[in-house]
Amino acid sequence: MFNPTDTNPPDQLINARLPRWLLASDWPTKNGQPELADIHIANGLIVNIQPSIKPSTNANTPSWDVAGALVLPALVDAHTHLDKTFTLRRMGAVEPGLLGAIAAMMQDRSNWTPLDVEQRATQALQWAYEAGVNHLRTHCDWWEAEATPIAWDVLGELADAWRDKLVLERVSLMPLHLFADSSTAAALAAKIAASGPCARLGGFVHTTNWNAQALRHLLEAAAHHGLNVDLHMDEELNPSACGLATTAALVKDMAFAGHVVCGHNCALSAQDESKALATLDAVAQANITLVTLPMTNLLLQDAVTGKTPKLRGITLVKEAKARGINVLMASDNVQDPFCHVGSYDPLEAFAAGVLAGQLEAPFDVWSESLCRADWLRGGPAAPPLQPGSAADLLIFKNSSAWSFPSRTHERVVLRKGQVISRKESTL
């Protein structure tokens, strides 16, 4: 039986309720629900996953009977800002909205010493690791063409220091105007390419800095250096924002060989439906991955002092998924001027997304948006928990497929079959 205090690694996890998206199409069901699963583990790796109805357990094999508890693969936090995190506590009043947050952040930059960034980012990584994250992508503000920001190198060192615990990817978050000149764009891409295999080229695309030529230069420079791209895209409710549509057209026009991720895409929700859906059709064709960031969108979009917001800002996630577009959900900012809440538990952002997007079947369908690291790199699908992959698992004893993600704070996190974190009520 599953003993909450047992820290010995099991070789079998039996009677686990896995999400439907992870199971084969011919997985047996009972009363409309997937049958429970037995997960066989050896040397920290998945051996196979079988329906529990086929007696496959060996009484002599160390087992945990999780008695129908929900089980997920390790979590992916596809979009964070470790350079900015935990800065809110030292700031004064911050104007509401995205541009007010940017102004506050620029004032705080003078405090960003290597030690300051390292301490704040380390706290974030520790929280993420304990929450069950094994892959985290962070953006890093990069304001000038000539100077590499302090945080870029600090985050690179942290990626090395944490490589046994999680994959830490860095994306350069550069204003689009830095790419207006093609030679500057090329030089920036060369710097990112020289930063190692976990570095991505990024940019901030918004109607306030719109420059289609600069966006083309960014993609051309990335292609030249074999870089994947991750863009802050149309993070606004201005229906004239056309960054996503232009990116999809450029990817097709250039036959861009790398992979593109676009975060936010809030403007889609404010556009005429036929225009927004045409953009999504193009995004699907271009194999662009979308990342939705519900917490910051809910806080920053339609934000006016003294007024209750009426618009949600979340992008068209259902329409995107219906077109086969890979949609990830992530934390974004945590405890900084952009978002005062957050905990590096992707399920916190997920809970906001389920409500804001009125998402059906959160566990069986949408939990996939928290678990697909392969969607960050394009290429062939590589779902988690295949035979031979690490037994990186989360067990939620107190939640259910109907109430998920409620009561998921309590969880046991296994990494390569070993317990690395255990959050449980002592009552």
- Give the nearest distance from C-beta 76 to Zn ion in angstroms: 15
Q: In this structure, are residues 171 and 200 in contact, taking their beta carbons and an 8 Å threshold?
A: yes
Return the number of the residue (77 or 332) whose C-beta is nearest Zn ion. Answer: 332
Instruction: Please give the distance of CA 208 from its chain centroid, rounded to a whole number.
Output: 26
Strand order in the sheet with 45-51: 45-51, 37-42, 12-16, 63-65
Q: Which two tokens stand for residue 66?
A: 């999780």
- Give the nearest distance from C-beta 219 to Zn ion in angstroms: 19
Return the number of the residue (11 or 332) whose C-beta is nearest Zn ion. Answer: 332
Q: Is the C-alpha dihedral spanning 58, 59, 62, 66 positive or negative?
A: positive
Instruction: Please give the distance of CA 392 from its chain centroid, rounded to a whole number.
Output: 17
Return the number of the residue (206 or 415) whose C-beta is nearest Zn ion. Answer: 206
Among 221, 230, 363, 352, smallest CA distance to 297 is for: 352
How many Å apart are CA 13 and CA 191, to the nearest integer?
A: 46
Judged by CB under 5 A, the chain residues 276 through 335 that form the site for Zn ion are 332
- Give the nearest distance from C-beta 375 to Zn ion in angstroms: 17
- Give the nearest distance from C-beta 172 to Zn ion in angstroms: 13
Return the number of the residue (345 or 392) whose C-beta is nearest Zn ion. Answer: 345
- Give the nearest distance from C-beta 86 to Zn ion in angstroms: 15
Is cis: bond before 405, omega within 30 of 0? yes
How many Å apart are CA 95 and CA 354, to the nearest integer?
A: 27
Contacts of 363 (CB under 8 A, 6+ apart): 19, 70, 399, 401, 404, 405
How many Å apart are CA 281 and CA 67, to the nearest integer?
A: 42
Instruction: Please give the distance of CA 179 from its chain centroid, rounded to a whole number.
Output: 26
How many Å apart are CA 65 and CA 2, to the nearest integer?
A: 5
> Which residue is at the shortest CB distance from Zn ion?
332
Compute CA distances 69 → 25, 93, 361, 362, 412, whole Å: 21, 44, 17, 15, 11
Return the number of the residue (232 or 397) whose C-beta is nearest Zn ion. Answer: 232
Across-strand partners of 199? Answer: 170
Q: In this structure, are residues 29 and 52 in contact, taking their beta carbons and an 8 Å threshold?
A: no
- Give the nearest distance from C-beta 347 to Zn ion in angstroms: 18
Q: Give the binding-site size for Zn ion (rule: CB under 5 A).
A: 1
Return the number of the residue (73 or 342) whose C-beta is nearest Zn ion. Answer: 342
Residues belonging to the active site: 235
| Binding letters toward Zn ion, positions 330-369, x by CB under 5 A | --x-------------------------------------
Residue 248, Cβ density class (10 Å: 0-12 exposed, 13-18 middle, ≥19 buried)? buried
Query: How many Cβ atoms from other residues are within 10 Å of residue 135's Cβ?
Result: 21
- Give the nearest distance from C-beta 293 to Zn ion in angstroms: 6
Contacts of 126 (CB under 8 A, 6+ apart): none
Return the number of the residue (71 or 299) whose C-beta is nearest Zn ion. Answer: 299
- Give the nearest distance from C-beta 332 to Zn ion in angstroms: 5
**How many DSSP H helices and E strands does the chain contain?**
10, 18
Return the number of the residue (332 or 368) whose C-beta is nearest Zn ion. Answer: 332
Instruction: Please give the distance of CA 425 from its chain centroid, rounded to a whole number.
Output: 27
How many Å apart are CA 402 and CA 70, to the nearest integer?
A: 11
| Binding letters toward Zn ion, positions 127-156, x by CB under 5 A | ------------------------------
Q: Which parts of this chain interact with Zn ion (CB under 5 A)?
A: 332
